[in-house]
Structure 1
Amino acid sequence: MDFEHILGLGLLQGLTEFLPISSSAHLILLPTLLGWKDQGLAFDVAVHVGTLIAVVSYFQHDLRQIIKGWFASVFKKNHTQDSRLAWMIIIATIPVGLVGLLAGHLIEIYLRSPIVIAIATLFFGLLLWYSDTKAQRHKDEYAISIKTAIIIGLYQVLALIPGTSRSGITMTGGLLLGLTREAAARFSFLLSVPLIFLAGSLKSVELMSSPSQIDWFSIIMGVFISALSAFACISIFLKVLEKVGMLPFVIYRLILGCFLLYLYAV
């Protein structure tokens, strides 16, 4: 891979994984629009590892408490708000894990198209705007119930459609269920940890069975660039979210969706 491809795709993955604008859509679209060759499975694994490093690093204190609380609840029957949040993350991850394993290959075949991305970008962008303006935002992430976790998990299943945005749709679900903007974002980011880990593990299994050679320079640079940009993105997003709300991201999605429809449907 040329360095500009590594830099562009690494930055793109890091900046869009946690913003409500769909990283998968951008990773599909950028090479298509610029005429780049497919970056390959190994690089996809690399940038996912980078974003996983970023979110684990940013939430290391929270994750340490959550994991510690979960083990205490399992082995010592000692239940705290951290152990409860750990169980809610697990519960919310189950639906997308099951659907991804059972139907992921069908989604790869039938839904990875610019038209699908455009429609999903527009529709779920408008749904994000509705949730941000109409919902009652008064709960934090520790107030999430089993029912709420299941519903957010079902929303997350929709993220398998390219253009939906995993972070965007889980934040939408959280807002509609009464979470504050920050709580919806924090739960969405914490929810990404097991999902990115599982997705990266599956891609790694595919990679190990692939006969293609690995460009280690591209891999290392992809991890570094995506991790650095994702960490900065999470930090800035959480600091400005309560001030700016979701409207800037909704506007971006509407512009992007209309541009894609003009490009591929007209």
Structure 2
Amino acid sequence: METIQIIALAILQGLTEFLPISSSAHLILLPKLGGWSDQGLAFDVAVHVGTLSAVVWYFRCELLKMSRDWGVSIVERRMVGESRLAWAVLLGTIPVGIAGLLLKDLVETSLRSPLVIAWTTIGFGLLLWWADRQGKRVRDEHSLGWGDVLFIGAAQAIALIPGTSRSGITMTAGLMLGLERAAAARFSFLLSIPVIVLAGGLHSIELIKQGSGVDWQALLFGTVLSAVSAYLCIHLFLKLLERIGMVPFVIYRLALGAVLLALYF
């Protein structure tokens, strides 16, 4: 891989993993538009490790409390402190885990079309705009009931379709349930942790089976860049979200979808 490709893809992954604009779509499209060869499975795993490390480090205090209270809740068989939020994250991950196993081949073949990405980018962008406009924005993530969590988890499963955006669709679902923007974003980011772990684990198994050579220098460089860009993205997004809302991201999605339709329709 060329250095410019490593830099572009790693930063792109770090930014788009947590913004509501679809990281998978951008990682599919950039090599096509740039005329680059596919970056390969090893690099995809590396940049996802970077984004995982960023979100874990950003929420490290919350995750420590959640893990501690989750363990206590198992021993005492009752909800303790942040254990409810920890159980919510685990429950919300189940739908995407099941869907990923059942639809893996379809997602990695037929649904990687630029036209699919174009329509999902536009359609779910408009849904995000509607949810942001109509949502009451009066709740935080601690008020979520189990039905709410399953609703957001089911929405997350839809994000297996490229162009949907995992963060975008989960924030949309949260806004539809009346969450504040920052609360919808925080729960979306927490939900990303087990999803990235599961996806990275599956890809790592595939990589081991392939047994191909690995450019460790490129992987390390990509991991660090994606981690730094992802951390900055999370910090700035949460800081500015209440001020700017979702409209800038909706506009970007509509513009990107229109460009893709013009190029590939």
TM range (shorter): over 0.9
Structure-1 separation of matches of 2:17 and 2:85:
22
Partner of 1:160, secondary structure, is: coil
Residue 136 of structure 2: SS of its match in structure 1?
coil
- Residue 80 of structure 1, CA deviation: 2.4
Q: Secondary structure at the match of 2:159?
A: helix
Q: Distance in 1 between matches of 2:264 and 2:92?
A: 35
* Aligned residue number for residue 202 of structure 1: 202
- How far the C-alpha of 1:78 sits from its partner, in A, is 4.5
Which residue pairs with 1:183 in the alignment?
183
Contact 1:92 / 1:150 at 8 angstroms: preserved in 2?
yes
State the match for 1:51 in structure 2. 51
| 1:221-256 deviations in Å (ceiling 9; x for gaps) | 011000000000000000000000000000000000
Letter in 2 for 1:97: G
Q: What amino acid maps onto 2:8 in structure 1?
A: G
Write the mapping of 1:18-97 to structure 2, written as runs, cut at 5 A. 18-97=18-97
What does residue 109 of structure 2 align with?
109
Shift of residue 77, structure 1, vs aligned partner? 2.7
How many positions carry a matched residue from both structures?
265
Give the Cα separation in 2 of the matches to 1:130 and 1:61: 33
Unaligned runs of 5+ in 1: none
CA distance in 1, matches of 2:198, 2:39: 20
Matched AA of 1:63: L
Q: Does 1:148 align with 2:148?
A: yes
1:76 to partner: Cα distance? 2.5
Question: Residue type of the partner of 2:65?
Answer: Q
- Residue 254 of structure 1 aligns with an amino acid whose one-letter code is L
Report deviation, 1:75: 1.3
Distance 1:80 1:138 in 2: 24
Taking the aligned partners of 2:134 and 2:78, their CA distance within structure 1 comes to 38
Please list the CA deviations of residues 100-133 of structure 1 after superposition, one character each: whole Å capped at 9, or x if unmatched: 0111112211100100000000000000000000
Tell me the residue number matched to 2:2: 2
CA distance in 1, matches of 2:121, 2:89: 26
Give how far 1:85 is off: 0.5
1:156-185 CA-partner distances (Å, limit 9, x unpaired): 011000000000000000000111000000
Q: Is 1:42–1:214's contact at 8 Å kept on the other side of the alignment?
A: yes
1:254 paired with 2:254, answer yes
Give the TM-score, by structure 2 length: 0.99
What is the root-mean-square deviation in Å for CA atoms of aligned residues? 0.7
State how far apart, in whole Å, the 1-side matches of 2:92 and 2:49 are: 21
CA contact (8 A) 1:81 1:142 kept: no
> What is the Cα deviation at residue 207 of structure 1?
0.6
Aligned partners of 2:204, 2:104: CA distance in 1, in Å?
Answer: 16
Alpha-carbon distance between aligned partners in 2 of 1:88 and 1:63, rounded to the nearest angstrom = 13
CA distance in 1, matches of 2:47, 2:3: 14
| Sequence identity (%) | 58
Matched, 1:226 2:226: yes
* C-alpha distance in structure 2 between counterparts of 1:135 and 1:76, whole Å: 37
Q: Secondary structure of the equivalent of 1:209?
A: helix
Quick one: which amino acid aligns to residue 29 of structure 2? L
How many angstroms apart in 2 are the aligned matches of 1:151 and 1:25? 23
Q: Hey, what's the Cα distance between the residues in 2 that align with 1:144 and 1:81?
A: 14
1:192 partnered with 2:227: no
Task: Quote the residue 2:120 is aligned against.
Answer: 120
Q: Distance in 2 between matches of 1:102 and 1:210?
A: 22
SS at match of 1:18: coil
TM-score (norm 1): 0.98
